Chain A
């Protein structure tokens, strides 16, 4: 049972435009959501997070939106840069945060 799902395996955008990565979840117990960026043969690095009491969190070029009723979150990157090209993972955890559940990942390619 895939509790966190990223339905788009890949996304390609032009430099300077907006990248929108989507994530859906099924477990109502999830209270905290995180986005990670990962390069091949490296560990994921943390990008941005949001708790279920908020619907938006912004950090520089990165904004995460949470729609609890739809069990959906999205990561917006504006403006996109070639260095943003990587695999992006959505992850979720319940209160207490004993473990993270990851989505399948989306490969973002930003073309110059």
Chain B
């Protein structure tokens, strides 16, 4: 079955440490996305990538970094520069030229203590 996998489901880190969240898809989708969910603020776009080796900043990219070395993988690094990293992070993918057809992962809950 094709799908999108985020791991781990729950992640705890100490303040000041960088942490990388994994997102892997086997849907052969070109485009991949990272969103952050906070209570009362909906889903906000962090970074997105339309094609391998290319990515664009979303609305809240500060304190985050990404890479897109393989079509299937779009890891997100939460750096120590991100002021409020505790949140629920969602990865999504879709075929590049389609308007619809987003597939979301089940998310990673990051807690920084």
- The chain A residues found within 8 Å of chain B, CB to CB, are 4, 6, 9, 31-32, 34, 41-46, 49, 89, 91, 93, 95-105
Cα(A61)–Cα(B9), bound, Å: 32
CA distance A95 to B43 in the complex (A): 20
- In angstroms, Cα B42 to Cα A9, docked, is 10
Which of B41, B50, B100, B104 meets A104, CB within 8 Å?
B41
Interface pairs (22), CB distance under 8 Å: A4-B42, A32-B99, A41-B88, A41-B106, A41-B107, A42-B106, A43-B92, A43-B104, A43-B106, A43-B107, A44-B104, A89-B43, A91-B43, A95-B99, A96-B99, A97-B98, A97-B99, A99-B33, A101-B45, A102-B35, A102-B43, A102-B44
Complex: A95 Cα to B109 Cα, angstroms: 32
A49 touches B100 (CB 8 A): yes
**Which of A95, A100, A104 has a CB less than 8 Å from the CB of B102?**
A100
3 shortest interchain CB distances as A-B pairs: A43-B104, A97-B99, A104-B42
Complex-state Cα separation, A46 to B103, whole angstroms: 8
Which residues of chain A are near B2, meaning CB under 8 Å?
A: none
Contacts of B90 in A (CB 8 A): 43-44
